[in-house]
Structure 1
């Protein structure tokens, strides 16, 4: 089968690999129908993810059809259309039982697919702990509608949930890339008083204005003053940092009002500084870490009910055979690229 393979820093190639086989009774084999390129895949390509194993098939954002299941799998069966969770998790350890599935203690737990074990930018993918990692796609929900459920939409939903947003809040979202827009869509479900999005790219600011006209939009140069002028207490009540830029972590806490919640879900390329003397007296609460993707069934329900739609994020589509060109396009963000979908069954 064809598989997009990480060969070491700076090198990703489409290679021929054997079709995966079940290795554990809890595994399922999924025929991938649609996948996408995530910014995390670029981090792997650039050598910024030390855990990434050379030779691994990349890709952790995909949907497909169950082909075979292990003897211990009970929640899906061959022929089911499914989303694949970015995280593999056992569902039994301390962290899983408390909903912190990103911290699963199983050897293959956490972000394994497309990083430590073969992922889904391929024709087939083996999914460990399939009872937890796969969710059946409801009738009437297309592959494109479900594509982002297992990763960036789960990230946005989790970020909105842990930010404790109320209807009185002004929420600032830093970043309007794919994960930032998914976060915006999930924040809207909580009906805050106002939402402000800060984004450097003119194309992405235009995208937000077109699809979410009620949302206020600013750029990084004006962000601090803009937020102060459009909030009730001198700063945002909730800040969600999704950009992961050079100075966006600092911007996040500086734009927050005293006693605000700052949620950082961005993946940074380098360490960030927490300058406690500068922020003394702001009494901020910080929440941070990787996504706990345990809300996929609820996300599919919301999509089926017409309350979430991420299909406008898909701005470019490629067959798997042209994934090299797709990476080139996505990496250099030409023509205002938001998200690239990879059709694996063409």
Structure 2
């Protein structure tokens, strides 16, 4: 089969690799019908995630059709249309029993496209299938489901829930890429008084305003001063970091009010300065986290019921064999206007 292979920092190839096979009775082999590229994949290609070995098939979010299951799999059968979660869960360790699947000690966590071959391929092996794939209701479209593999649960759990967004809050979201826009959508479920987005790219500012932001601040703004003015000098109740660079994290700590919460969602590849000399006296809570995807069934149910309005994140569509073009497009959002790209296999494209 064909797959997108990481060959070291700055190097990738779309090439032939061996088809996946059942290695454990809890495995499933899934044909990839639709897949996307994550900002984390770009971090891997930059060399920011040294735990990814050369030769690894990248990707950790997809929708597909089950082809084969191991003898111990009970939740899905061949022919089922499923969502492949970005997080794999053994279901038995102490963290899984607490719903903290991202910290799984039993061979799960974030492994797809990281520690084992991932989803940017024609087929993928998914360990612990009963807890790591979700059968899709007929009313949920493939393209919408794709956003629930990673983006929506990440923004919801690590941003909205960790930031404890409550009715009447002022929320500042730094970054209006896919995660930032997903955070915007999920924060909206809790009726904040004001949603402020900070983003340099004008196209993404526009997208944020179209999908619920009250204010979009950009390159020409003094952000901390603008937030103070918009909040009567108090600052934000919640600041969500959705980029993953030191400057944006530090900005979140500047715009937060005493007693506020900073929720870091971005994947960082370099150290950021924590100004405790300023923060220690202000009762500020800072959270970090890897998504657990414990919220995926709830989000999937809301989507099926028409209760979850997804922002228009997918801006570019490709065939699976156009993986290299999709990466080039996704990696240059300022030039291409890309938010999220989706790739479909031939059978999906023709149905």
Aligned 1:227-238 pairs, distance under 5 A: 227-231=227-231, 234-238=234-238
TM-score when normalising by structure 2: 0.95
> How many matched pairs?
344
Kindly provide the CA deviation profile for residues 99-137 of structure 1, in whole angstroms up to 9, marking residues without a partner as x.
21111112x321110111111111111000111110111
Deviation at 1:335, TM superposition (A): 2.6
Aligned 1:296-307 pairs, distance under 5 A: 296-307=296-307
Give the distance between the partners of 1:307 and 1:156, measured in 2 at CA: 17
> Following superposition, which runs of at least 4 residues in structure 1 exceed 3 angstroms of deviation?
none
Aligned 1:266-277 pairs, distance under 5 A: 266-277=266-277
- Greater Cα offset, 79-88 or 231-240: 231-240
Give the distance between the partners of 1:211 and 1:165, measured in 2 at CA: 18
Aligned 1:149-164 pairs, distance under 5 A: 149-158=148-157, 159-164=159-164
Structure 2 unaligned regions, length at least 5? none
Deviation at 1:233, TM superposition (A): 5.8
Give the distance between the partners of 1:77 and 1:230, measured in 2 at CA: 53
Distance 1:231 1:305, change over 3 A: farther
Give the distance between the partners of 1:77 and 1:223, measured in 2 at CA: 52
Task: State the match for 1:68 in structure 2.
Answer: 68
Task: State the match for 2:199 in structure 1.
Answer: 199
Deviation at 1:310, TM superposition (A): 3.3
Q: Is the 8 A contact 1:34 1:345 kept in 2?
A: no
Give the distance between the partners of 1:17 and 1:311, measured in 2 at CA: 35
Kindly provide the CA deviation profile for residues 187-222 of structure 1, in whole angstroms up to 9, marking residues without a partner as x.
11111111111111111001112232x522112533
Kindly provide the CA deviation profile for residues 290-322 of structure 1, in whole angstroms up to 9, marking residues without a partner as x.
112111111111111223243611110111111
Answer yes or no: is 1:317 the counterpart of 2:321.
Answer: no
Give the distance between the partners of 2:54 and 2:24, measured in 1 at CA: 23
Deviation at 1:287, TM superposition (A): 0.8
Kindly provide the CA deviation profile for residues 159-195 of structure 1, in whole angstroms up to 9, marking residues without a partner as x.
2112211112111111110011111111111111111
Q: Is the 8 A contact 1:196 1:218 kept in 2?
A: yes
Q: Is the 8 A contact 1:86 1:151 kept in 2?
A: yes
Answer yes or no: is 1:343 the counterpart of 2:344.
Answer: yes
Q: Is the 8 A contact 1:127 1:133 kept in 2?
A: yes
Q: Is the 8 A contact 1:169 1:192 kept in 2?
A: yes
Deviation at 1:278, TM superposition (A): 2.3
Note the aligned Cα RMSD (angstroms).
Answer: 1.4
Deviation at 1:231, TM superposition (A): 2.0
Structure 1 unaligned regions, length at least 5? none
